[in-house]
């Protein structure tokens, strides 16, 4: 999660975690506390990211060669007004980024599955031979998820 000076903050698996612009709360999806309710406040730039241990890189190019997708389930409480990006990072400054705003489902109590071909990240600069981070960026003001 984004915090002062862009330092990462570990997300709690049992309690609410908040930093400027973003709050996460563990929720039950298929099992107890197996999902996060992520709220971007719309006032500050914020990001939620998954990173490899010790920021080390991994070679995951076999997934690209297998035409794999980045897949996640999402339930929308509010649609964003501006862009919402998902990025995959290799060793800095390498990354691939995709705007998913138009692929987000309508507001609903139902969960939807989003699938993004890894090739979309490659087309925008990602090198999967040195993957180290997946980032969900919400880079706008006055709107939320």
Arithmetic mean of pLDDT, 7-16? 79
CA atoms of 138 and 81, how far apart (whole Å)? 10
Question: What confidence tens digit (pLDDT) does each residue in 31-78 have?
Answer: 888 888 888 777 777 777 777 666 678 898 999 999 999 988 999 988
In this prediction the pTM is: 0.76
Question: Are 56 and 131 within 8 A, CB to CB?
Answer: no
Closest to 131 measured CA to CA, from 83, 100, 82, 94: 94
Match 């706008």 to its residue by tokens: 140
Please give the Cα distance from 52 to 45 (Å, whole number). 23
93 cis-preceded (ω within 30 degrees of 0)? yes
Q: How confident is the model at residue 140 (pLDDT cuts 50, 70, 90)?
A: very low
């Amino acid at each position: 999660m984004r915090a002062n000076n862009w330092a990462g903050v570990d997300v709690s698996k049992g309690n609410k975690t908040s930093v400027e612009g973003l709050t996460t709360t563990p929720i039950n999806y298929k099992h107890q506390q197996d999902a996060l309710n992520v709220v971007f406040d719309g006032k500050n730039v914020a990001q939620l990211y998954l990173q490899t241990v010790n920021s080390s890189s991994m070679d995951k190019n076999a997934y690209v060669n297998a035409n794999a997708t980045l897949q996640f389930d999402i339930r929308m409480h509010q649609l964003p007004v501006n862009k919402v990006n998902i990025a995959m990072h290799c060793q800095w400054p390498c990354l691939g980024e995709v705007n998913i705003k138009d692929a987000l489902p309508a507001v609903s109590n139902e969960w939807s599955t989003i699938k993004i071909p890894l090739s979309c990240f490659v087309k925008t600069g990602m090198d999967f031979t040195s993957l180290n981070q997946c980032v969900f960026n919400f880079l706008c003001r006055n709107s939320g998820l």
